[in-house]
Amino acid sequence: MKISEKGIEFIIKEEGEVLTAYICPAGVLTIGVGHTGKDVKPRMKITKEQSREFLKKDIAWAESVVNKIIKIPLEQYQFDALVSFVLNTGSNALPTSTLAKKINLNFSIEEIEKEWKKWTYGGGKILDVLISRRKREVKLYKGEY
């Protein structure tokens, strides 16, 4: 599957778009629409076009993670929510998570929501911004956003 335009808009709204490198609440050097990695340098500046190129690559990578890990058919909004989750948590979170196991085993939405909302730590501490984001991602996953 591929993310929808609505999913891309959701991610941009969640992440924001900052064209100068900054330290996010989890303590990670970030630029653009939540882009992190070795190619992000302190005080780095990019254009909106460069930001969107980073976003395209980051989304393609997150789509591949979701497509590889989730074995059941998904609705578009569920896929979009999972791509947002992977972009925010990184490549190691979903593959080893109880969340993925419960999705693949068709657990109830209540069980999936409970697992999803556990992912609120950044930099070793619970972050209010992640509590709020997980609630919105769950709403998207449920088709309510």
Q: Which tokens belong to 26?
A: 């989890």
Structure tokens at 14: 């969640």
* 5 and 21 Cβ atoms separated by less than 8 Å: no
Distance CA 83, CA 63 (A): 6
Active site residue 17: no
Catalytic option among 5, 14, 15, 111 = 15
By C-alpha distance, which of 61, 5, 64, 8 is closest to 36? Answer: 61
119: left (phi over 0), alpha (psi -120 to 50) or beta: beta
- CA 143/CA 128 separation, integer angstroms: 23
Alpha-carbon gap, residue 145 to 135, rounded angstroms: 10
* Active site amino acids: 15
